[in-house]
Structure 1
Amino acid sequence: MTDSIEYERMLRRRRDELTARDAELLATLASLGELRDANNDDEHDPDGAPVSGEWSRLAGIRRETQAELAATDAALGRLAAGTYGICVNCGRPIAPGRLEARPTAELCIVCAERTSRR
């Protein structure tokens, strides 16, 4: 079983990784944005993906990264508040195995299954 100190280390490492990924994505998107603004007609480039298509793909990945970062920050907040590992819906403990597999989990497996069926 993992203790709260280990969960915090794991979450902080993940937060650092996500922050670095977000910065990389932001820099790449800025570069692609400059190409898009230059009105380059890459839509017919047979050698690669169009700039606008690549920008859309990376923007989607960045949104997912930011969502995961927000979930990680929320989990760290629950740790600081002493509520980490307690289901925000029913108040029951979240199984350690679930937290090990998904350290940002805020719902126990029963509540998560109920939510996914809706």
Structure 2
Amino acid sequence: MGDSGRGAALLLAEERARTLARISGLGREYAEIVEANALVAIDDEHDPEGSNTAFERAHVAALLAEAREQLADLELAAERLRRGTYGRCERCGEPIPPERLEVRPAARTCVGCAAPRPR
């Protein structure tokens, strides 16, 4: 693995560690919300605080799902690195700019292919 491959591996490992820490924190936060709600009988439909609690629980659950999806994307990126296809656009085959990979290490497409297509 060349210097760029080692750099990509390090970038992916760092992003994976951050994502795992985020998953762990959000998992604890979600468990705390559920536990707090179990201690107090909240009727989400009629209690003014119940709707806030339900929203908070749903919000944290959505963030947790997003973080898990990010982790899966990072795992796929690590596999592309092992296969030697990391950094190449999956649509057009052109290199993905290093600046994009720094911001989105799991990027699978170049900026042009990631842009929304006109209808």
State the shift of 1:41 in Å: 4.7
Report matched runs for 1:94-105 at 5 Å. 94-105=96-107
The secondary structure found in structure 2 opposite 1:75 is: helix
State the shift of 1:96 in Å: 2.1
Distance in 2, Cα, partners of 1:94 & 1:78: 13
Counterpart residue number, 2:27: 26
Give the count of matched residue pairs. 112
Q: TM-score, normalised by structure 2?
A: 0.80
Counterpart residue number, 1:75: 77
Distance in 2, Cα, partners of 1:9 & 1:87: 20
Q: Which of residues 77, 91, 97 is equivalent to 1:89?
A: 91
Counterpart residue number, 1:117: 117
Gaps of 5+ in 1: none
Gaps of 5+ in 2: none
Q: Structure 1 residues 81, 58: CA separation in 2 closer, same or farther (over 3 Å shift)?
A: same
State the shift of 1:36 in Å: 3.0
1:85·1:99 contact (CA, 8 Å) conserved in 2?
A: yes
1:106 correspondence with 2:100: no
Q: TM-score, normalised by structure 1?
A: 0.80
Distance in 1, Cα, partners of 2:91 & 2:13: 24
State the shift of 1:53 in Å: 1.8
With 81-90 and 2-11 compared, the bigger mean Cα shift is at 2-11
